Structure 1
Amino acid sequence: MSAEQPPDKDHFLYPRSRYRGEFTPENLAFNANLQEFAQKIGYICALETGGKMPSKEAYQRIKELWKELKLSKHGLGIGENQPDGDSP
């Protein structure tokens, strides 16, 4: 019998879910960026809630992360080829 491997620290701290949408390299890359965004937001919220980060700093960090995600979406061309009726 072989001993089980201990869980990888990075996998534990930065879990990734499978992508289940329409596959394109751009969609896959954006999904990874979106998961990373969500993970970082969770950490920032936990730090702010726990009193380890001021609310103003948490807001600024989240705002910067949002800008990065928007740039990623634009750079990957996500949503640019949608018919006019499907855009929000």
Structure 2
Amino acid sequence: MLGLIISIIVVGLIAGFIARAVVPGKQSMSILMTIVLGIVGSFVGGFLGFLLFGQDAGDGFLQPAGIIGSIIGAIIALVVYIMVKGRGASARRRS
């Protein structure tokens, strides 16, 4: 069980770091937020894999993906995060 948790954290860190390196611009995120980004990206990648490749529904809709799926999912999650964060900042400026 401890090995699973450590591997999830390591894969999350790697996927989050690569996603932050690929997406242009400066992201003000801590190392913990980078790990969370990678973990969320893993589940986004698993969900996309389920939708694209039609895996057995018994496997569930939210399933962890491999490292490539985690990176792709983390990039998508980071872009969404930047868009949502940017929208909130522009709304505050108008007030």
Do the two structures share a fold, i.e. TM-score over 0.5?
Answer: no
Q: TM-score, normalised by structure 2?
A: 0.32
Q: TM-score, normalised by structure 1?
A: 0.34
Higher-Rg member (1/2): 1
